[in-house]
Amino acid sequence: MISSPSMRWLAGSLGTAVLLVASAAAAASLWALPRLRFDHAPRSLLRADAEADRLEEELARAFGSDDILLLAWEVPTLLDPEVFAHVERVTAALTGIEGLEEIYSVASDAVRLPLGTFPRRLRAEDLETGSGRAHAREALRRAPVYAGTLYNDGLDVVAVATTVGRAGREERDRTIDAVRALARRLSPPDRPIRVSGVSAFAREAAHYAVRDLLRIGAVALAASLLALVWMAGSARLALLALASTGLPPLLALGAAALAGVPVTAMGAALFPVLGVIGITNSLHLLNLYGEALGRGAGVEEAAAEATRRVALPVLLGLGTTAAAFFSLSATGVPAFHAGGTLVALGTLAAMPVVLLALPAGLIRMRSPPPGRLARRLDRPLVRLASSSIRHAGPLLALALLLTLGGIGLLARARVGVDILASFKAHTEIAQTYRFLDERLTATVPVDAILTARAGATSAEILRDLEAFSTEVERIPGVASAQSLATLVLYGRSINPVPIGDEGALAVLRAGFKEITARFEHLPSHRYRIKMRVREGSPPEVLDRIEASLPLLKSGTAHLTGLYVRAVGTTRSLLASLLRGTVLMAGVVLLVVGLAFRSLRLVLAAVLPNVAPPAFVFGGAVLAGISIDITAVAVGAVAVGLAIDGTLHLLFRLVAERRKRGAPGAALLRTQRSIGRALVISTLVLVSGLCCLALSAFLPTARFGIYTAAICLVALLGDLVALPAGVTMSGWSAPRSRAS
């Protein structure tokens, strides 16, 4: 055990040095923050798959860029000459934006319609007479490859599609910003032009993430400050704790900025929580500091004693929390990997801040003892512990039953696949995708790629493509399935004489090269069926699409696209959730076993740390709430956070048991002392997590709500199930073990 003089030196001189170094690092972090980058591509929320990435890159080279921007808006009718003239202006304006490649609209030269003897581009003068509008309506109806993308069946929604060139992130962001600025400038009154697409989604998500980081961080720190003032009874003491524990998230953000590591949506949400984690551990130190001052110790001696008593549980608690965040890398989801790693490093940085910088601040400021308000919890906590000891058997049986029930319910969990529907309904980005899904086209892409076998004829390939497309379009949730066969039907309809499929295909290859190339790549004998799936479609839709692949008999076929990746990710959720939770539970039990060398205490700590995630997720399943990508992160992180309270209680229990009295009396004294700080620190942590519910990004909001709920259940487990478990285990403290 570290001697008191050594501890006073650690808390004083070394702590002051740590505080100065951390302050300098914080200043450097503030200087680096403007360089912070955000990355919110939908792919970052999906499980990493190098082979799928390679294939998608290969297909993009073969069929052209799939990074499509869609500018869509409502109109009275597309057949109005003034409306059409507006479409022409938008189309022409897009040609002046650097970074855009093909541009398609009913007013572009690339889109030709059967308006006479030969297909040609629609012009405003075609719509100036009733007969001209009738011919235009019929031509639009006979162009299935454009319907649902460049206009809808009612002709009261029109769109311009453009592809973004292959460029770096900064160049692409500038292009997206320019397109959005053009859309705002050319939007008709009360009919905004909505910009959508994968790149547009990522760019808009970055704006929301920056706002969330500032807003949630401010609210979380304000809530933490109020809780600190309430417990400490001193604004000066509260500000000291807040200033010292606010350093780790700032340092982590600065490190990310300097290293050029992009912050994802989940990472942006976790940084405010990192500060709250430091505050909760600081509260335990302040609690012991106040107890020492209450016994007549001086400020320096009290700070040293509090640091000595809290050091091991803080080190082990923050270590397991960091391990939980590091474990997010095992999910294979880039957003969790990047955010979890940065926050884990910040958690480790919180160790010297809490154990050295904060005590140094207490000594230098000659801080007063914490206030007495939190002591009002002492009597209820003692009564709760007494009741837990008296009814230990039934309480443990109930906790075990609820845990097993929650695990059993997880087998019935529904998984969600909404990647593009990741924002709250009131946000502009959510309204855009809902508008598109309801009024124009489904927004989730799926591609079926047919690689024709040697010797397969064009007739066989077209027959298979048509059969597959027809079958797939019958599946509920699939809005459209377009292929070369769709183009051939169109090609046959626009020719004045029957030319058959082979002739129509020859005409398309000669006169419609740009659009044909998006469905056929002759050098590799590949053919593409582009499908659109409605938002919210369950994974079973993909099963039915896969079941239709044998219709493509002229070669081998496989599926790719955002929806395919999303379903694959979500279907691994339950296994990842259970694996991560069990892994962290194993780490927790190993830490308890090594720290106390007592199998009885290990058994007593099982339920308080395993039951909360099982109970919360089981309740979510029972309530009919689907499990989404967020759940992968919650299980392991929540267990890592929950162990902190268990460790503080057990270390104090061991110390009290060695001093004097029976195990029951030691439990009551522990609850009266550590239980008080545990309740307040958990409430601070929960308040910080609940602030994440303010996020417009739904995975972030759900992460905060789920984790807060698990932490509350874990608090109940520590205050009720842990005393009951210790009582039933028959544990007694060893005689030669340091507290």
pLDDT at 663 over 80: no
> Do the Cβ atoms of 46 and 569 come closer than 8 Å?
yes
> Do the Cβ atoms of 218 and 456 come closer than 8 Å?
no
Beta-bridge partners for 555: 452
pLDDT at 605 over 90: no
> Do the Cβ atoms of 373 and 366 come closer than 8 Å?
no
pLDDT at 565 over 60: yes
More confident residue, 264 or 531: 531
Instruction: Please compute the mean of the pLDDT values over residues 626-642 and round it to a whole number.
Output: 78
More confident residue, 411 or 297: 297
Instruction: Please compute the mean of the pLDDT values over residues 219-226 and round it to a whole number.
Output: 74
pLDDT at 11 over 80: no
pTM, two decimals, is 0.83
User: How many CA atoms lie less than 13 Å away from 591 in the CB half-sphere?
Assistant: 29
pLDDT digits (tens, 9 = 90+) for 280-298: 888 888 888 888 888 888 8
Q: Above pLDDT 70, what percent of the chain?
A: 90
pLDDT at 368 over 70: no
What's the pLDDT band for 628 if we cut at 50, 70, 90?
A: confident
Instruction: Please compute the mean of the pLDDT values over residues 85-101 and round it to a whole number.
Output: 91
The per-residue pLDDT for 737 is 43
Q: Above pLDDT 90, what percent of the chain?
A: 17
Burial 262-280 (b: 16+ CB within 10 A, else e): bbbbbbbbbbbbbbbbbbb
**Which residues, 6+ apart, have CB-to-CB distance to 53 below 8 Å?**
none
Beta-bridge partners for 319: none
The per-residue pLDDT for 178 is 93
Cβ-count burial of 96 within 10 angstroms (0-12 exposed, 13-18 middle, 19+ buried)? exposed
Burial 154-192 (b: 16+ CB within 10 A, else e): ebebbbbbbbbeeeeeeebbbbbebbbebbeeebeeeeb
What is the Cα–Cα distance from 206 to 129, expressed in whole angstroms? 47
What's the pLDDT band for 12 if we cut at 50, 70, 90?
A: low
What's the pLDDT band for 738 if we cut at 50, 70, 90?
A: very low
The per-residue pLDDT for 77 is 93
CA 680 and chain centroid, separation = 28
What the block records as the tokens of 53 is 């990435």
- Helices and strands per DSSP (H, E), number in the chain: 28, 9
More confident residue, 18 or 700: 700
Q: Which fold has domain 428-563?
A: Alpha-Beta Plaits (3.30.70)
pLDDT digits (tens, 9 = 90+) for 478-525: 988 999 988 888 777 777 667 788 888 888 888 778 788 889 998 889
Beta-bridge partners for 449: 528, 558
Mean pLDDT of the chain: 82
pLDDT at 355 over 60: yes
More confident residue, 721 or 277: 721
- In terms of average pLDDT, the best of 140-144, 151-155, 676-680 is 151-155
pLDDT digits (tens, 9 = 90+) for 435-461: 888 888 877 889 999 999 988 998 899
pLDDT at 18 over 90: no
What's the pLDDT band for 232 if we cut at 50, 70, 90?
A: low
Domain edges within the chain: 7-38+210-371, 69-195, 428-563
> Do the Cβ atoms of 266 and 329 come closer than 8 Å?
no
Q: Which fold has domain 7-38+210-371?
A: Multidrug efflux transporter AcrB transmembrane fold (1.20.1640)
Instruction: Please compute the mean of the pLDDT values over residues 344-373 and round it to a whole number.
Output: 75
The per-residue pLDDT for 183 is 94
What the block records as the tokens of 123 is 């012009």
